[in-house]
Amino acid sequence: MRILGFMGSPRTRGLCAQFTESALKGAASRGAEIKQFNLVKYTIKYCRGCYKCVYNNHELPIGRCPLKDDMATILREYLEADGYIMASPVYDFTVPAVMKAFIERRFPMFYKTKGARGIPDARVKQHFKKKASLIATGSAGDEFASIAEPCFEVMSGHFMIEEIDVVDQLYVGLIHNVDEERYKAKMDETYTMGVHLVEAINESRREA
């Protein structure tokens, strides 16, 4: 089993990154192979909205984007993985630009006939055998967790079409005022998220 973590903060050693790493370690403790993508370290160009990846080559599991950067390689690894951890800080009530660019450039995972009505469909349906967990961090207190809802919606929107379940989501507030005790508690909580993610994937396969 392979679990990928996609971390959308530009601070690669900040708490969002550490919580992603913790969740991946939880997954690894249950035998999963893990990899963390700190997205800011990759070259991800902005989508131009040309739709070439969606309209053409419907026989391929991943459409061909004319932009040349790291996304083709990332998408191949994405498709081969069994589960995902998406993590992002709250920036201006949504995800940072680097995470949004990554999500928009997942467009080659979908297809649509030119001129057809409706939204594109997933090239590869996962039939709910793959699972995902979401983490969001912010400066507002935990009692204002609803501030992270737009982040969760953006990070998980494609999963609905791909038929991938979100099994957990966690908002960690007061990110600039995390004492040692609370830090340990949140690291434990994110570690447990990783454990649960692997267990949920295994359970879905037993039910198949």
Q: Which two tokens stand for residue 42?
A: 């990759």
Residues 6+ apart with CB under 8 A from 16: 7, 8, 9, 87, 88, 89, 135, 137, 175
Report yes or no: 161 and 110 within 8 Å, Cβ to Cβ: yes
CA distance 3 to 137: 21
CA 125 to mean position of chain CA atoms? 17
pLDDT in tens, 145-170: 898 999 999 999 999 999 999 999 99
Helix/strand/coil for 163: coil
- Provide the CB-side half-sphere exposure for 66 (13 A, CA): 9
CATH number at 86 reads 3.40.50.360
Work out how many domains the chain is built from and give that number. 1
**What's the pTM value of the predicted model, to 2 decimals?**
0.95
pLDDT of residue 178: 87
Question: What secondary structure does DSSP assign to 101-137, as a single string?
Answer: HHHHTTGGGEE--TT--S--EESS--TT-SEEEEEEE
| pLDDT tens track for 17-56 | 999 999 999 999 999 999 999 999 999 999 999 999 999 9
Domain range for 88 is 2-207
CB 88 within 8 A of CB 9: yes
Residue 171 near residue 91, CB atoms below 8 Å: no
Tell me if residue 121 falls in helix, strand or coil. Answer: strand
